[in-house]
Amino acid sequence: MKTFRLPDLGEGLQEAEIVAWHVAAGDRVVSDQPLVSVETSKAVVEIPAPWPGRLVALHGAVGDVIAVGAPLVDMETEGATSDAGAVVGTLPAAPPSRERPATAPGPTTRTADTPVKASPAVRRRAQELAVALDTLVGSGPAGAIMMADVEEAARATAVADGFQPLAGV
């Protein structure tokens, strides 16, 4: 049996939140089949299976935050010996971009047929604050709705409803 651990996701990130499992214990997987999606402070990343085999155990549930190097799954592989837990795989550093955007980034307009662009964390925060994402104009890249957009909309709604936000809290 081999233990696959959360790989180094780059950029000095030390942990990630499990967003969705794409497999279950007992499933047979092939190399590079998506196992789990995790969210870091930078992006949602899909972690693929490092080897073919049968999943024995999944470590962590949706919403759990796990550290880099912590067990992610236990797998049975053909003729496998126990793995002492080496961290498998790293993401190569992205080469620096040589192109600059033609225009300065800023809020963009959205049409009714354009999908809402927001990370899972932003979507969750909008739900907690009862903010409808489809009513917002994102200030992020390509019109993505950012956490600040959601929180500003929630503050504006609270003030419009006669509630004053607490200062200094």
Give the C-alpha separation, 52 to 5, whole Å.
15
State the average pLDDT for the chain.
Answer: 77
35-64 mean pLDDT = 89
29-58 mean pLDDT = 89
Q: Which domains does the chain have, with CATH numbers?
A: 2-76 (2.40.50.100), 105-164 (no CATH)
The 10s digit of each residue's pLDDT in 144-157 is 888 888 888 888 87
The 10s digit of each residue's pLDDT in 75-99 is 998 654 444 444 555 555 555 544 4
- The predicted pLDDT at position 147 comes to 87
